[in-house]
């Protein structure tokens, strides 16, 4: 009996995209335990730097951050019964219990938005830097003197 070896051929752009998602997930996981959620834009920026297009930068930042946030929230709900807190907070906003899922979705959307924003910023910066280096402009233009 012969076993065939199957090769999976992946383009370099797709490989970079997958690596940037995994790298973003790792950095997001590390920054999640700092409890300063505003720093979540940093992994998105790093994901965007890896990719050549803004679209892939946005996708990699959004996917990397949102996957880890959703896994972390599900873990907290299962392990530490955090859904009660979400439900109580939603009850304060909406005036009744049973709306904790809305807060869960909002937190997930914030993760997606921060990751996508960071990915767009990172890929835009890397595109601008590459264009500047290709032109050979190593120095910044000097401002003109006002008379």
pLDDT tens digits along 36-88: 878 889 999 999 999 989 999 999 999 999 999 999 999 988 998 888 888 99
C-alpha dist (Å) from residue 59 to 109, 112, 125: 14, 9, 16
pTM of the model as a whole? 0.80
pLDDT at residue 34 above 80? Answer: yes
Round to whole Å and give the CA distance between 43 and 60: 10
Round to whole Å and give the CA distance between 72 and 11: 31
Round to whole Å and give the CA distance between 8 and 94: 50
Task: Find out whether 65 and 112 touch, Cβ atoms under 8 Å.
Answer: yes
What is the distance, to the nearest Å, from the Cα of residue 24 to the centroid of all Cα atoms in its chain?
A: 6
Q: Pull the structure tokens for residue 85.
A: 């807190």
Radius of gyration of the chain (CA): 21
Express as a percent the part of the chain with pLDDT over 90. Answer: 51
Provide the pLDDT for residue 139.
Answer: 63
Nearest to 127, CA basis, from 112, 43, 135, 62: 135
Runs of H (alpha helix) within the chain: 12-32, 41-50, 54-80, 83-94, 100-135
């Amino acid at each position: 009996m012969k076993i065939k070896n199957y090769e999976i051929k992946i383009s370099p752009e797709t490989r970079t995209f997958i690596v940037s998602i995994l790298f973003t997930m790792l950095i997001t996981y590390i920054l999640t335990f700092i409890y300063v959620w505003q720093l979540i834009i940093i992994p998105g920026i790093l994901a965007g730097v890896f990719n050549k297009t803004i679209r892939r930068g946005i996708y990699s930042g959004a996917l990397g951050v949102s996957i880890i946030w959703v896994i972390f929230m599900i873990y907290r709900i299962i392990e530490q019964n955090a859904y009660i807190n979400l439900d109580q907070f939603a009850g304060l906003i909406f005036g009744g219990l049973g709306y904790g899922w809305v807060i869960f979705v909002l937190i997930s959307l914030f993760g997606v938005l921060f990751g996508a924003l960071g990915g767009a910023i990172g890929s835009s910066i890397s595109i601008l830097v590459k264009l500047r280096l290709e032109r050979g402009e190593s120095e910044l233009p000097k401002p003109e003197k006002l008379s």
